[in-house]
Chains A and B, each alone.
Chain A
Amino acid sequence: MDIDSIPVYKLIDWISFEVLSPKTIQDIAAVKVVTPELYDKEGYPVDGGLMDTRMGVIDPGLRCKTCGGRIHECPGHFGYISLARPVIHVLYARIILELLRGTCRSCGRVLVSDDKKNSILKEIKKINEEGSRDDVISYISGIISKLKNSKKCPHCNAEQKKITLEKPTTVLEDDKRITPIEVRTRLEKIPDDDLRLFGLNPKTARPEWLVITLFPVPPVAMRPSISLQTGERSEDDLTHKLGDIVRINQRLFENINAGAPEIIIEDLWDLLQYHVTTYFDNRISQVPPARHRSGQPLTTLTERIVSKEGRIRYNLAGKRTNFSSRTVISPDPMIKPDEVGVPKVIAMVLTVSERVREWNMDYLKGFVERGPNKYPGANYVVRPDGRRKKITDETREQLLEEIQPGYKVERHLIDGDIALFNRQPSLHRMSMMAHRVRVLPYRTFRLNPIVCFPYNADFDGDEMNLHIPQTEEARAEAERLMIVTKQIVSPRHGFSIMGVLQDGISGNYILTKLMNLPRKEAIALLGSASLLDYVDKLPKKEMISGKEIFSVLLPDDFNFRGSCRDPDESEVIIENGKLIAGVMDKKNLGEESELMIREINKHYGDEFTMEFIGNALRLGDAVLMKYGFSVYVSDSDLPEKVEALINEELEKAKQDVDILIEKYRNKELERLPGATLLESLETKIVERLNKARNNLGNIVNRNSDKLTPSLIMARSGARGNLLNLTQITACIGQQSLRGKRIEGGYKGRTLSSFKRNDLSPSARGFIESGFKEGMKPYEFFFASMTGRDSLMDTALRTPKSGYLYRRLSNALQDLKVADDTSVRDGNGNIVQFNYGDDGLDVSKTEGGRINVDYIIAKNLEKVD
């Protein structure tokens, strides 16, 4: 049967964790490893060696002696080493110590009376039901830490001795060493029933199993060797470590059998313990790590699992996919926002598999006929048994004949296919949205600038990833849930996250504020924005205003009242789809704006909104393209009179500060409550200089030409602000570090070019010059100081907030809305009875609220 057509063919219900008992180790083992040798002279694995073919194979030519499978077929089988003397498992050393401390050294019972034992067990059971596994562990360790002080066994009255652990694996009793053999016999004596007191389940973890007698050898597939070009083989670190263990173990055997002196045996035993310890964990602090001959530490079991590059986070939680591609992005406002331009070369590699049915057989045969090299063709044909056949010039004819219902054709991408588009860092769900494919020439992904904001993308070399969902289910989910049009409203705050940006804003601002066009030109403008469909809606008159041209995009029954950024325009009024007053700027069209786009989205739906934003962007861009828009240096030129004004303002500020400093030196300055005199002075100086900067801003604003491109950009909100302009023309202003003016550096002064204790503005980081004029050397130095500070800030912030994100998402990942509107975690515990107290999904609300005003107004209107 076709394996793909089975919805779920295996499902894991649970995973249980147990300690391997010596019996299990022997049962699952396919071979007893007795020699550290790996290969014989012919390079064939030695029987009873670490690469024994009964443990699986890694050579392409060989077959596994246990199951007969070849490489990739046979998952491998365990082997075992019988240790000459037992050793302690490092990772369980802690619990072994607790067990020894908590039990009698002669009778093996727990050091509490039976009555008390039962009450403790009851308590454990209760915690187990209510709390977490870790709660139990912490409760138990509380009991155990009390037990270690018991002097006498309540069962057999034997005297207890003090047991300590000399890290990592040496157990001491009254400072005398006890051997693992002794440890093991004591652990064996502990009855099953008493183990529960230590949180141990005797069925899955008998304590004596924690002292290793039989050592499991992992299958070869888990530690494959690498063949170098020279023909030499390089073994995996684990194999090296296992080799060490086998070698020492054999020597220990030999010495014991030969009746060697006790010291030699003990030394070898310790060495065996060391190798077993580092096999499990090579980063224990008291143990020198085992190293390669080159001095590089070996990566053993623990190192393989933990950390970001370890098995869990790298291989298990992180997945890699086929059917994906990555390239540079570039903008294209002429494609729709929910489309993505895919280069033809990519479209011919990425495929979509389509199942052959009677009714689409001819259609799909067309793709096969064109083959892999002619667009739109197909790369593979998949037979019902799952065998993939590559389409080539030789196989094409035969495959064409062979194809029948039930086959699948992996055809090239064509316009309209669903693709997932993603830009890292994927910080929110809008970082991965579904787009429809639009196959285009050249080699970059094309995207409409509207979606730049949710992706946080620009075109200075950014690359993005594209994934093609391969099953109907995945495609349906992508199309219904992830498509760009469904993501207009952000779940973060319930406002629109997409909008017109940059040129589109300034274009529409110019259009609605200043323009008045003859009808012919208006039509041409719409035409160049590819909005010819809307020409009919233009009023039939000779001269058409920009507001009327813009109104063409609005729905006929749209009413809206709002405000705009431009201080000269008081209000935006839209009545019956006509823009009557006000201008269109960032407040109404922009992303993360709260008003007009959210309103349109509410009443006319996602599709229309997306269309509207796209149209408005193209219209704005067309205005700029047709009528020109560039920024000049002269935008920031000011008349001489104004420059004098600026200098005067600066001079006045400096004088005022001088007076303040003078007052401070004479101790006449008024002390602010709770502050020292110097702090009061600083506060007042900063206040005065800020006031000066604001005044300068006002002067620049009042005296610059409102129609220069720079100011149009700032006023419409397209890019830049008045502060930027003030900094260019007048004065950059105070540089501050940690909220204070710049201080320190040298003794009593900021730079050696100032006098000691100079508190004047220029000596403490106030930059009088503007960017156009250029900074003085010391001013440049102060600017660099704050510049470096902010650079460091960004560099330090990213990992910090990244870690916060990881923790937050780990803590909250399982919370979901249950069928009864409560919020529950993965185990069904209630976190909130009703999500957010009202059960509303933020992305479906207007800024987190139901618009009551609108509903009331609508209902009052109805009856009138």
Chain B
Amino acid sequence: MDNAIFSEYEGLLPKKLIEEIKQKAQKGISKKQLKAILDDCVEEVKKASAQSGEAIGLVTAESISEPATQMTLDTFHYAGVSEMNVTVGLPRLIEIFDARKNLKTPSMEIYLKDKKKLSNKEVERIAAKIKALRFGDIVQEFKIDIANYKITASLNKEELDNADMTASDVIALLRKKTKIAKFSKGKNDEIIVDVEMKKDKGPNELFRIRERLEELIIAGIKGIKHVLPVVRQDEDGNKEVVMLTSGSNLKEVLKFDFVDKTRTISNDIFEVEAVLGIEAARQKIIDEVKGVLDEQGIDIDIRHIMLVADTMCLTGEIRGITRYGIIKGKQGVLASASFETPIRHFTNATLSGAKDHLSSVIENVMLNQPAPVGTGLPKVRYVGIINKEE
């Protein structure tokens, strides 16, 4: 196709639209026809462009909130496994817009580099590498010998097999991870923990050490509580194994070789920001909101979601739509006061001698003046009544 013609229109048409025309107008179209098509598109785009002054923010707010009233309050999506619940619907939407740091259900989608169909055994081995394994998980029973300052841990064979480890492996790992005690192998694959006790500490110390050992993560990644491998099918019918997790730790997971680093993602926006940057976080906000809405069968144009995501990421860090986030931003005194905690805003304003230039919609509503959006923007200057007779 004649790229020269397309490049002529680069400034006039959105990139996406040009791509679309390129794709759709491939079969033997003459130059003249193509030009006519492009000209028509320019005309269409002009007609459909947003007018200057359009209060696009309010349109976005109502477009998102109106259907939100119809969303279910069902907190969880029950995936058949009790650990794998995911927050959905209105609570999740609020969670995203609040930019909460502690998600109710953090989770990840881990894609694998190897797209071939893996055997169940292989999949489980990968899952085991990701899932955080506490020492307590593989121990059947702790026996505490107060007299000799010894703890004996007998291992759970089944769990050990699942984790693909032997007792010696476990001891090696324990030695690597902690120095609070000495570990050695006993009979029947038991692990004997020798605690060097200082004399001033009583037997309670033994129990404390047992608790610490129970919580010690000996394999996998901290924070990943559960891994569920599922088979996904893309549009072309290619099947692929994806690991869904409960709990999230993007930074560590991306260190694995077998992980496809281009697609693996966490649903924790702050984590995405920390690891991949603010642009990725913006995209993640858009994807997450879109996901929530799609799942509820609500149709909202992507532009609205983009606008909210952009406002949230405007300063280069994520700010929630709360009184501590966006709303506390650079607004007039009256506008901030009309949202929440008016007295605090007034006292602070008087101290710094703030001037409110009434640039906000609500401030002008309060003062019965035309608001600076839409038809309130054009200004007419009054010079006096012109009386022809005089």
Contacts and interface: CB of A to CB of B under 8 A. Distances in A.
Interface of A: 1, 5-8, 11-19, 91-92, 95, 131-134, 136-137, 199-201, 203-205, 281, 302, 305-306, 310, 312-313, 316-317, 319, 425, 427-429, 477, 481, 491-495, 592, 672-676, 679-680, 682-683, 738-740, 793, 796-798, 800-802, 804-805, 807-819, 821, 823, 825-827, 829, 831-832, 835-842, 844-845, 847-848, 850-853, 855-856, 858-860, 862-863
A542 B124 CA distance: 75
A853 B333 contact: no
B267 to A, nearest CB: 18
B176 interface: no
B80 A675 contact: yes
Given A17-B333, A839-B14, A860-B33, A810 B327 contact: yes
Contacts of A680: 80
Contacts of B304: 492, 842
B314 A840 contact: no
B351 A95 contact: yes
A840 B303 contact: yes
Given A826-B331, A850-B44, A821 B49 contact: yes
B321 interface: yes
A204 B353 contact: yes
Given A15-B356, A797-B71, A863-B30, 17 more contacts: A12-B358, A132-B330, A199-B352, A317-B362, A679-B82, A807-B322, A808-B61, A811-B325, A812-B57, A816-B55, A821-B52, A825-B57, A829-B330, A844-B50, A845-B48, A847-B301, A856-B24
B67 A492 contact: yes
Interface in B24-76: 24-25, 29-30, 32-33, 36-37, 40-41, 44-45, 47-69, 71-76
B74 A739 contact: yes
Contacts of B322: 807
Given A1-B385, A812-B311, A850-B17, A836 B68 contact: no
Given A683-B80, A793-B72, A204 B350 contact: yes
A800 B93 CA distance: 11
Interface string B88-126: 001001100100000000000000000000001001100
A64 B75 CA distance: 62
Contacts of A855: 37, 40-41, 44
Nearest to B348: A137
Interface in B348-384: 348-362, 365-367, 369, 372-375, 380, 382
The 10 closest A-B pairs by CB, nearest first: A815-B57, A204-B353, A739-B78, A836-B303, A812-B57, A838-B14, A201-B353, A805-B65, A132-B330, A841-B50
B76 A738 contact: yes
Q: Tell me which of B45, B49, B365 has the highest count of chain A C-beta atoms within 10 A of its own C-beta.
A: B49
Given A679-B81, A812-B61, A813-B361, A844 B52 contact: no
B303 to A, nearest CB: 3
B337 interface: yes
A862 B65 contact: no
B332 interface: yes
B49 A840 contact: yes
Contacts of B361: 813-814, 826
Contact of B354 (A16, A313, A842): A16
B148 interface: no
A841 B53 CA distance: 12
Q: Tell me which of B53, B58, B120, B346 has the highest count of chain A C-beta atoms within 10 A of its own C-beta.
A: B58
A90 to B, nearest CB: 10
Interface stretch (B182-190, B195-203, B223-231): B223-231
A273 B94 CA distance: 43
A205 B352 CA distance: 7
Given A481-B375, A493-B301, A808 B65 contact: yes
A862 B300 CA distance: 35
Interface string B288-331: 00000000000111111011101100100000011001111111
B301 A853 contact: no
B333 A823 contact: no
B33 A863 contact: yes
Nearest to B21: A852
B4 interface: no
Q: Tell me which of A827, A847, A853 has the highest count of chain B C-beta atoms within 10 A of its own C-beta.
A: A827
Contacts of A672: 80-81
Interface size class of B (residues with CB under 8 A): 35 or more
Given A816-B54, A837-B16, A17 B327 contact: no
Given A200-B351, A811-B321, A826-B332, A429 B69 contact: no
Contact of A809 (B21, B58, B337, B385): B58
6 contacts: A492-B304, A676-B82, A804-B97, A807-B322, A810-B338, A840-B303
B369 A11 contact: yes
A302 B97 CA distance: 30
B339 interface: yes
B84 interface: yes
B263 interface: no
B232 to A, nearest CB: 14
Contacts of B36: 859, 862
Contacts of B335: 814, 826
Nearest to A740: B78
Contact of A796 (B73, B302, B360, B362): B73
A738 B308 CA distance: 30
Contacts of B300: 492-493
A859 B352 contact: no
B54 A134 contact: no
Contacts of B359: 814, 826-827
Nearest to A281: B343
B343 A306 contact: yes
A850 B17 CA distance: 8
B6 to A, nearest CB: 13
Given A804-B93, A821-B49, A831-B310, A19 B351 contact: yes
Interface string B7-30: 000000010110011001100011
Contact of B78 (A738, A807, A832, A837): A738
Contacts of A832: 306-307, 310
A682 to B, nearest CB: 7
Contacts of A15: 333-334, 355-356, 358
Contacts of B369: 11-12
Contacts of B380: 7-8
Nearest to A134: B328
Nearest to B228: A674
A827 B44 contact: no
B295 to A, nearest CB: 13
A315 to B, nearest CB: 9
A425 B62 CA distance: 12
Contact of B349 (A17, A428, A838): A17
A840 B350 CA distance: 42
Contact of B353 (A8, A17, A831): A17
Nearest to A844: B48
B77 interface: yes
Contacts of A137: 348
B347 interface: yes
A160 to B, nearest CB: 23
B342 interface: yes
Contact of B55 (A796, A805, A811, A815): A815
B139 to A, nearest CB: 19
A19 B20 CA distance: 61
A836 B97 contact: no
Contacts of A793: 72-74
B16 A838 contact: yes
A815 B326 CA distance: 13
B303 A848 contact: yes
A818 B53 CA distance: 6
Contacts of A493: 63, 299-301
B228 to A, nearest CB: 4
A591 B127 CA distance: 48
Contacts of A862: 36
